[in-house]
Amino acid sequence: MDISKKIILTGSFGVGKTSLFSRFIYSDFDDRYLTTIGVKVDKKTIDIKEHKLNMMLWDIAGEVAQDKVPLSYFLGAHGIIYVFDLTRPMTYNNIGTDIEYLKDILPEGVVKVVGNKKDLVTPEHIEKVISSLPIMCDITTSAKTGENVEDLFKSMGENLV
């Protein structure tokens, strides 16, 4: 059975949302930093169990706090991927408040917390950052090497069908 779901990629600016998006959809990575203006929508269909899942991915321009993102972008979303940068504390300092806000506006939505840019830090550093967070980090990824990117979206898909 074909199913379509809306998934939002959000988080502070420069955390690698667009890179994760491009890595997953086009298997591509670009070292240049080009800030996202507004929102970019794209689609990828994956097979989950007996279903064909059309993931409509909304890559939203980064904001320092989630309440700065236009509320209408979140409406009707089935899943949210909240991305932070493992190398920059300012991108996860407010993670508790941000996740609480997202769960408030989308109580039934699936939220995944993702620490990106794992290729730039040591396993010890990752461990230290994750243990300092007030909420659970679902997965750590590297859009550059592709590590865990497929797993992230697959796990989101499994939670949605």
- Interacting residues toward other proteins by CB under 8 A: 1-6, 38-39, 41-43, 52, 54, 56, 58, 70-73, 75-78
- What distances in angstroms separate CA 104 from CA 53, 75, 100, one per listed residue? 26, 12, 6
**Tokens for 79?**
């899943």
Q: Kindly tell me which of 76 and 134 has the beta carbon lying closer to other proteins.
A: 76
Residue 151's contacts (CB-CB under 8 Å, 6 or more residues apart) are 139
User: Which lies closer to other proteins via its Cβ, residue 6 or residue 144?
Assistant: 6
Residue with smaller CB distance to other proteins, 57 or 137: 57
Nearest distance from residue 74's CB to other proteins, in Å?
9
Residue 82: enclosing H or E segment and its boundaries?
A: strand 79-85
To other proteins, the closest distance from the beta carbon of 62 in angstroms equals 16
CB of 51 vs other proteins, minimal distance in Å:
9
Query: Which residue, 42 or 147, is less far from other proteins as judged by CB?
Result: 42
**Rounded CA gap, 54 and 158, in Å?**
12
Beta carbons of 20 and 39 less than 8 angstroms apart: no
